[in-house]
Amino acid sequence: MSSTVITNIATLVTNDPSLGSPLGLIRDAAVVVDGDRIAWTGASSKAPATDNRVDAGGRSVLPGFVDSHSHLVFAGDRTEEFNARMSGRGYTAGGIRTTVAATRAASDEELEAGLTRYLSEALSQGTTTMETKSGYGLTVADEERALRLAARHTDEVTYLGAHIVSPDLADDPAAYVALVTGEMLDACAPHARWIDVFCEKGAFDGDQARAILTAGRAKGLHPRIHANQLSYGPGVQLAVELDAASADHCTHLTDADVDALAGGATVATLLPGAEFSTRATWPDARRLLDAGVTVALSTDCNPGSSFTSSVPFCIALAVRDMGMTPDEAVWSATAGGAAALRRTDVGRVTPGAYADLTLLDAPSHVHLAYRPGVPLVSGVWRRGVRVV
Ligand SMILES: [Zn+2]
Asked whether residue 305 falls in the same domain as residue 382, the answer is no
Q: CA 156, 184, 273: angle at the middle one, nearest 5?
A: 40
CA of 132 to the centre of ligand 1 (A): 9
CA of 364 to the centre of ligand 1 (A): 30
CA of 9 to the centre of ligand 1 (A): 35
CA of 53 to the centre of ligand 1 (A): 40
Burial (CB count <10 Å: 0-12, 13-18, 19+), residue 202? middle
Asked whether residue 372 falls in the same domain as residue 311, the answer is no
Q: How many domains does the chain have?
A: 2
Asked whether residue 109 falls in the same domain as residue 23, the answer is no
Asked whether residue 166 falls in the same domain as residue 208, the answer is yes
Distance (Å) of CA 58 to CA 350, 351, 375: 20, 22, 17
Asked whether residue 41 falls in the same domain as residue 180, the answer is no
CA of 12 to the centre of ligand 1 (A): 31
CA of 197 to the centre of ligand 1 (A): 9
Asked whether residue 255 falls in the same domain as residue 369, the answer is no
Helix (H) or strand (E) holding 214: helix 206-218
- The pLDDT value given to residue 94: 56
CATH number at residue 14: 2.30.40.10
Of 208, 202, 339, residue with least CA distance to 269: 339
CATH number at residue 261: 3.20.20.140
Report the C-alpha gap between 44 and 39 in whole angstroms.
Answer: 14
**C-beta separation of 73 from 106 below 8 A:** no
Report the C-alpha gap between 279 and 90 in whole angstroms.
Answer: 9
Of 10, 2, 12, 32, residue with least CA distance to 355: 32
CA of 133 to the centre of ligand 1 (A): 8
**C-beta separation of 129 from 156 below 8 A:** yes
CA of 300 to the centre of ligand 1 (A): 5
CA of 301 to the centre of ligand 1 (A): 8
Report the C-alpha gap between 24 and 47 in whole angstroms.
Answer: 18
CA of 176 to the centre of ligand 1 (A): 20
Tell me the β-bridge partners of 296.
269
Asked whether residue 166 falls in the same domain as residue 275, the answer is yes
CA of 71 to the centre of ligand 1 (A): 6
Predicted confidence pLDDT, tens digits, the chain (388 residues): 799 999 999 999 999 999 999 999 999 999 999 999 999 999 999 999 999 999 999 999 999 999 999 999 999 989 989 998 899 876 554 588 899 999 999 999 999 999 999 999 999 999 999 999 999 999 999 999 999 999 999 999 999 999 999 999 999 999 999 999 999 999 999 999 999 999 999 999 999 999 999 999 999 999 999 999 999 999 999 999 999 999 999 999 999 999 999 999 999 999 999 999 999 999 999 999 999 999 999 999 999 999 999 999 999 999 999 999 999 999 999 999 999 999 999 999 999 999 999 999 999 999 999 999 999 999 999 999 999 9
Write out the DSSP string of 310-369.
-HHHHHHHHHHHS---HHHHHHIIIIIHHHHTT-SSSSS-STTSB--EEEESSSSTTHHH
CA of 304 to the centre of ligand 1 (A): 10
CA of 37 to the centre of ligand 1 (A): 31
Of 194, 196, 243, residue with least CA distance to 220: 194
CA of 202 to the centre of ligand 1 (A): 15
- The pLDDT value given to residue 121: 98
Beta pairing class for 194-199 and 157-162: parallel
CA of 28 to the centre of ligand 1 (A): 39
Asked whether residue 327 falls in the same domain as residue 301, the answer is yes
Report the C-alpha gap between 96 and 217 in whole angstroms.
Answer: 26
Helix, strand, coil percentages, rounded to 5, for the chain: 40, 25, 40
CA of 70 to the centre of ligand 1 (A): 6
CA of 24 to the centre of ligand 1 (A): 30
CA of 302 to the centre of ligand 1 (A): 7
- Non-local (6+) Cβ contacts of 80 within 8 A are none
Query: For residue 373, what are the domain limits?
Result: 3-64+348-386
CA of 69 to the centre of ligand 1 (A): 6
Asked whether residue 195 falls in the same domain as residue 299, the answer is yes
Report the C-alpha gap between 198 and 327 in whole angstroms.
Answer: 30
CA of 303 to the centre of ligand 1 (A): 10
